[in-house]
Chains A and B, each alone.
Chain A
Amino acid sequence: MTGNAAVIATRGLVKRFGAVRAVDGIDLDVREGDVYGFLGANGSGKTTTVRMLLGLVLPTAGTVQLLGGPMPKAARRVLPRVGALIEGPAAYGHLSGRANLALLDAAGPGGSRRTRRARVGTVLEQVGLAGVGRRPVKAYSLGMRQRLGLAGALLRRPELLILDEPTNGLDPQGIHEIRDLLLELHRSGTTVFLSSHLLAEVEQLCSRVGVLDRGRLVLQDELARLTAPTGATVVETPDPQRVRAALDGRVLSLDGTRAVVRGADPAEVNAALVAAGVPVTGLALQRPSLEEVVLAAAGTSADRVDAGEGRARR
């Protein structure tokens, strides 16, 4: 992965709003072909970062390189190759979805007028809104608006998708559909930068993860490496006390019907337990869940402001 070209690269990115440092010196590294999960609690600075990537918010310090061009200077050259969904969809309520997409496409460079109708039709089909007709957007449900926002992001077949909470407002089937769509786009070569606070969503989609906590990037690594086996085996048994007797000194913890045992080879652990006559109902390599990894790295919720801390953050 590290051999691929950098798609998003920030250096010491800082954004200060008054006395508050919303983003505090982050170095993002997203490479071609990644599905990058940008995790963080509400208020941790995700949206501000996304806005800086797109040139909407201007950094207090630091640099942003997007598809090799410096932002916001290279916006006109680079942004037509980027599709974005920023903090929820937005559209003109009195116009149809189709008219909204056509207007958005006409509002900037890189969208040929000749192919506009066809492209609008294609993306509406991709997001599952092909049959919506001339209905004005104000009559859309939240999920439909979300799909329309995604359609707008896909309109110019972008090399990079920057999506902020893309499944917000969708029902479980809708979430599944959008996940499949994103994976399909990724297979056809699109790099995806997915900002979310939904760990499950990131765990299912992403190959790389960055974790933001109070404006700082506390973690950035391959998902597979973060959730790699810990070198211990989890044993399910109706009688955990006998595990302790059979594998003395190797038991790391006992809890109900579970015992965690040192040793990265479940077969070897199983053989030892069976030899000692311990009934085993389940065996698995221990892997930390993404949730455990994130909680260990990020600490308490960013919404939470304890006494004295408000001042400390400034």
Chain B
Amino acid sequence: MIAVELRKLFRRPRTWVTIGLLNALPVLVAVLMALTDLAPRPGEGPAFLSAVLTNGTLYPLAALAIVLPLFLPIAVSLIAGDAVAGEAQAGTLRYLLARPAGRTRLLVAKLVSVFAFVLVTVVVVAAVGYVVGRLFFEVQPVGGTALSGTSLTSADIVERTVLAIGYVAVSMLGVAAFALFFSTLTDSPLAAMLGALAVLIASSLLFTLDAASSIAPYLPTRYWLAFVDFFRDPILWRDIVRGLGLQAVYVVVLLGAAWANFTTKDVTS
């Protein structure tokens, strides 16, 4: 069943179009910066972008930082929101369940395929970022500079980039869990996707509001940018650990709710 879902996901042209479009913005940014040689000042614009002119190996991280606030969540909610509601809208859900695929099995297979999409997407963004960084920017032969000013070796940067990619993927799992839960509630993939995005936008907005500071630590987007902390020396683990814990709670609770809803609902689509 998992193999079937993976085949469905990755044989669908839309999946690759989404991933392709997702990479367009970081590439455009790189081209513009390489042509004009203008970088945002440190502390402004997306993380790492100010550093890439001097060190192209940081571009995978800059690329992730560029797509993280909006593009990546849109792509993830699109695919995860479509997971169950898309089958319902197409009418294929009733045939899968009458096959019988088994509701729990189907949900698990959808979950795995959505997670696979998150992982592939994040890795592709990082990989394209790497290639673009190499092509357009100078590459320092030995290491780079941590955000805190001390220098890092190339091996350090590779290791920490991998960790950061993993962290961003986990953050996106939270988004996927929201969209997948909504996807079991409605027969409209669009509604599921917009529902997940609405949660994220609300979360980002509340995060900037002083009056909401008491709930800020529990907002799903609160620790998204903590992947930057992998590039402090030493690594600043506090927010990273909190971010991982928070996403884990969201993922477990939402998937539990998705399972409880999907296994007991009337399929009338």
Q: A residues bordering B, Cβ < 8 Å?
A: 51, 54-58, 75-76, 79-80, 82, 84, 86-95, 103-104, 106-109, 152
Contacts and interface: CB of A to CB of B under 8 A. Distances in A.
Given A51-B268, A86-B94, A104-B95, 12 more contacts: A55-B97, A56-B267, A57-B268, A75-B102, A79-B99, A79-B100, A87-B91, A94-B13, A95-B11, A106-B3, A107-B1, A107-B4
A79 B97 CA distance: 9
A152 B8 CA distance: 17
A93 B96 CA distance: 15
Contacts of A95: 11
B92 A51 contact: no
A168 to B, nearest CB: 13
Interface in B58-110: 90-92, 94-102
Given A58-B266, A103-B7, A104-B95, A92 B90 contact: yes
Contacts of A103: 4, 7-8
A87 B94 CA distance: 10
Contacts of A54: 94, 97-98
Contacts of A87: 91, 94
Interface of B: 1, 3-4, 7-8, 11-13, 90-92, 94-102, 264, 266-268
A58 B264 CA distance: 8
Contacts, number: 75
A55 B94 CA distance: 10
A28 B13 CA distance: 45
Contacts of A108: 1, 96, 99-102
A93 B266 CA distance: 25
Given A86-B94, A92-B92, A94-B12, A107 B266 contact: no
A90 B98 contact: no
Contact of A90 (B7, B91, B99, B102): B91
B98 A86 contact: yes
B98 A79 contact: yes
A86 B95 contact: yes
A284 to B, nearest CB: 44
* The 7 A-B residue pairs with the shortest CB-CB distance in the complex, in nearest-first order: A90-B91, A108-B99, A79-B100, A56-B267, A57-B266, A54-B98, A75-B100
Given A84-B98, A92-B90, A108-B99, A56 B266 contact: yes
B11 A107 contact: no
Contacts of B12: 94
B91 A88 contact: yes
A107 B267 contact: no
Contacts of B266: 51, 56-58
B97 A56 contact: yes
Contact of B95 (A55, A75, A90): A90
A54 B98 CA distance: 6
Given A91-B92, A92-B92, A107 B101 contact: yes
A22 B163 CA distance: 55
A294 B1 CA distance: 44
Highest count of chain B CB atoms <10 Å: which of A75, A91, A94, A107: A107
A242 B96 CA distance: 66
Contacts of A80: 99-100
Contacts of A88: 91
Contacts of B1: 107-108
A70 to B, nearest CB: 14
A196 B177 CA distance: 41
